[in-house]
Chains A and B, each alone.
Chain A
Amino acid sequence: MNGIQRRGKEALARRVAQDIPDGAIVNLGIGQPTRVADHFGAGRDVILHSENGLLGMGPAPAAGAEDFDLINAGKQPVTLRPGGAYFHHADSFAMMRGGHLDICVLGAFQVSATGDLANWSTGEPGAIPAVGGAMDLAIGARETWVMMDLLTRDGRSKLVAQCSYPLTGIACVRRVYTDLATFECTPQGLRLVDAAEGLDREALQRLVGLPIA
């Protein structure tokens, strides 16, 4: 893919952060999406929710200042911002299911054109299944966004007509941010939001193998 300005991990995190409005209440899942928090800048007040009972989560503490009673969903030490709150697990997931979170950002194995999400199991025989809070987040937040590479290592699209991996939720993904383009999932299929420099709609359609409006 010569001449294409592929977004690196930090650029992708910056791209997602760009679309999160001031005042939003956001859950950043675990792993790659947590990088989004580094790119809100000083002008925006975004309240981060963590499934294990934190609202107003702050950045990692300085080395040596870790408090092992204050961790995030990925079990890494974090801090709490002034104005933050602690609550128990049933309240934390009520916040999700009850539609009180504006946005959650998750990773994915596959997303279908209409927004079905597969991100918890590859369904491999012998694998030990683990789901955590992924299913609750996927269907609970008012908008679920996915952040992932568009293609697998062997070049197949992770945006698909129908997920072949076990589902996390049905028609729950609104936007998909990838290294090569940003998409919206709609009942009618994929809509292009933006594409990396050097990549046009036709080239993207060839990569994805699906119509893109």
Chain B
Amino acid sequence: MIDKTAATLADALGPVRDGATVLIGGFGTAGVPEELIDALRQQGARELTLVNNNAGNGDTGLAALLASGAVRKMVCSFPRTADSWVFDDLYRRGRIELELVPQGTLAERLRAAGAGIGAFFCPTGYGTPLAEGKETRLIAGRGHVLELPLHGDLALVKAERGDRWGNLTYRKAARNFGPVMAAAARHTVATVHELAELGGIDPEHVVTPGLYVDRVVRIDRVATRAGGFRQERAA
């Protein structure tokens, strides 16, 4: 019998080796697997490469993982925010490496990894500093940059509902990087707020089919601690 459900976050996470590449979903306040990030920090693996759109906010979650000294390199599109002081400090002291990737290229490199694509030519970034050192080609008269897939050893994904086969649905804009990260990692762990019986998720509504997912763990729904939200509207 296939049963991917785990009783605890630590069981769901399993062993994580030093030097692993960890894909972490989430964008702003939506879809951040905060409980799994905390479990990863408590598990204690070091020299990690993290892939996330941002580089942590405030002092909790991803920022706490960075502050623990467990991270060697950050791969992201937008590390600098008003409250990214943990990353900013590590970066300015030369204690963390940064690979800056345009957001769509980040998503597509993850998609390519999950889809078994060896590399792809992408027009984003052509002629900019982010294409320096990369192979380029004119295709139909337009400049393209060669981009490589971005594989993970582990993906941490926050979903909404799941079942014991690992099928997942998401909620609103919390979907963001979840589906492509789930497919791009050798081992994918998802939190859900609700565990459904097999068949309890309409097959028409499954967003991440279970074959991409290794462990599912149910967590309570709590008010978000994820960063990026400010009460006043942006100017």
**A residues with CB within 8 A of B:** 30-32, 34, 50-54, 60, 67-71, 74-77, 80, 86-90, 92-94, 96-97, 121, 126, 128-136, 139-140, 166-170
Contact = CB atoms under 8 A, between A and B. Distances in A.
A93 B108 contact: yes
B123 interface: yes
25 contacts: A31-B235, A34-B234, A53-B175, A69-B30, A69-B172, A69-B174, A71-B28, A71-B29, A71-B229, A75-B230, A76-B233, A80-B172, A86-B170, A88-B207, A89-B107, A94-B108, A126-B92, A128-B91, A130-B79, A135-B102, A136-B124, A140-B124, A166-B129, A168-B128, A169-B128
A13 to B, nearest CB: 12
B176 A90 contact: no
B110 interface: yes
B180 interface: yes
B171 interface: yes
B152 interface: no
B28 A97 contact: no
Nearest to A168: B128
B128 A167 contact: yes
B78 A139 contact: no
A102 B78 CA distance: 25
B56 to A, nearest CB: 12
A170 B127 contact: yes
A132 B78 contact: yes
User: Would you call the interface of chain A mostly helix, strand, loop, or mixed?
Assistant: loop
A131 B207 CA distance: 28
Contact of B173 (A54, A74, A128, A170): A54
Interface string B151-171: 000000000000000000011
Contacts of B31: 69
A88 B80 contact: no
A52 B30 contact: yes
A205 to B, nearest CB: 28
Contact of A130 (B100, B126, B235): B100
